[in-house]
Structure 1
């Protein structure tokens, strides 16, 4: 009697378990009909294959310089978290080059920088970003990128040319800084009041040096000995008038030096 009673008590439990199993099977069948890939997840199998992101539309639009098409096409690739790394790098480089051609410098630098974080072996991209830094007049960053390109590819022609040009530019800037605030003569030997005034003022010292350099240039370019003689006399006259007039009421040394520099540079047809 006890066994039969126990069997009657277990019967509702068994029926309930079969009922829940039927529900799970029905749910799986519905998912497989509506979302074929979902059945794998529902049954613990391998996830369905995800469709690959197509980078071709982005690359072709960028190569054709079509901003209208490249914008959304490249964004679809770049903003998709499922994009494979190689395709993401290609899209970033292509869009960066397109943005650079349209003078959107900051956005181009951002794309190049992201591409280099993903793949720091791209010499072309380092060189391209260096050229963008130059457009922003950031010479230290430009030199750094050109150098990085050459470390990756010592024979990179554009990077070599850019790095060499920057080296000359930095040398020129260094030379200018070395003589900044120094006149054409030695201040230790300055005796005249006008010379002491020039030595005491950086702007006047720079003007004096520029006048001296401009005069040396026009002498080198003189077409005859007679012309060179006239040019030397004109400079001597300027110095004599400057020395004699300095300190007198109404005399403006800075203006006199600026006028002389303009004449030497041909602004007044000298």
Structure 2
């Protein structure tokens, strides 16, 4: 019996040999792998991620080279391995470059993506607000300027932009309040021509503009004599308008447009 046991230890079975070969093959393969991959395969530290170089993107954008920046920045922005901080830098740099080249929609897209990644960027909110303003979207512009000031109350550009927009919106509001209303009280309109002006928004706006322009030229007159002459001209226009309205061939709208052009500097004035 002892002889049979010694014989089995000296001469392994075929099954034992196959097991040893599989273990040896695995060890050789693991040794052949790069260190980072081998560690990952054995449950160790994951392989290090290669850092994406954004220098080419930033240099091309700073140099105002749109073609190079498009290529270099796309390599950074479209790379899944790009670190968040570098991605934001690339988006902001390319967005600013697009803005300088009047590619407004592309600039807004890059700024918006950067703000999604980091909503604390006051400069980017202000920059996007200026882009919305270029597109004529004043509500969104005001919203972005306000967001920039909320983050940084001392942001000089955002303060100036927000103040200018507040004045603009106030002016628009004032215009809307008087839109379609003439310079006089329609409740007291007695003449047919006055009632016609009150009943037509376009004529009412023309009348109000004529009144405003007349007040301006009187205010800017060089001396009392000039102011008196300008007032006499306005009185004559009103008299002709009142007398001419309703007669064959008289065009009230045309007469009012011509008067406004003269007041605003056309035909030698």
Coarse TM-score class (shorter-chain normalised): over 0.9
Of 249-258 and 40-49, deviating more is: 40-49
TM superposition shift of 1:249: 1.3
In the other structure, the counterpart of 1:162 is 161
Q: Which residue of 2 aligns with 1:81?
A: 80
Partner SS for 2:182: coil
Q: Would the aligned equivalents of 2:182 and 2:198 in 1 still touch at CA under 8 Å?
A: yes
Tell me what 1:12 maps to: 14
Q: State the alpha-carbon separation in 2 of the partners of residues 41 and 145 from structure 1.
A: 46
Which range is displaced more, 67-76 or 199-208? 67-76
2:123 is aligned to: 124
Match of 2:94 in 1: 95
> C-alpha deviations, 1:218-248, integer Å up to 9, x for none?
1111112221111111111111111111111
| Structure 2 segments unaligned to the other structure (5+ residues) | none
User: C-alpha distance in 1, partners of 2:118/2:100?
Assistant: 22
Once residues 217 and 124 of structure 1 are traced to their aligned partners in structure 2, the CA distance between those partners, rounded to angstroms, is: 40
- Cα displacement (A) at 1:67: 1.5
Distance in 1, Cα, partners of 2:31 & 2:98: 50
Alignment pair present for 1:267 and 2:269: no
Distance 1:163 1:44 in 2: 56
Alpha-carbon deviation of 1:77?
1.2
**Pairwise CA distance, 1:11:** 2.4
Aligned equivalents of 1:45, 1:264: Cα separation in 2? 85
> What's the offset of the Cα at 1:45?
2.6
What is the distance in 1 between the residues matched to 2:43 and 2:138?
57
- Contact 2:36 2:45 (8 Å CA) reproduced: no
Which residue in 2 is equivalent to 1:178? 177
Let me know the Cα RMSD of the aligned residues: 1.8
Structure 1 equivalent of residue 132 of structure 2: 133
TM-score, normalised with respect to structure 2: 0.92
- In structure 1, the residue matched to 2:197 is 198
**Which stretch shows the higher mean deviation, 189-198 or 53-62?**
53-62
The range that moved more, 82-91 or 187-196, is 82-91
Once the two structures are superposed, residues 11-31 of structure 1 have per-residue CA deviations (whole angstroms, 9 ceiling, x without a partner) of: 23222222322332333244x
TM-score normalised by L of structure 1:
0.92
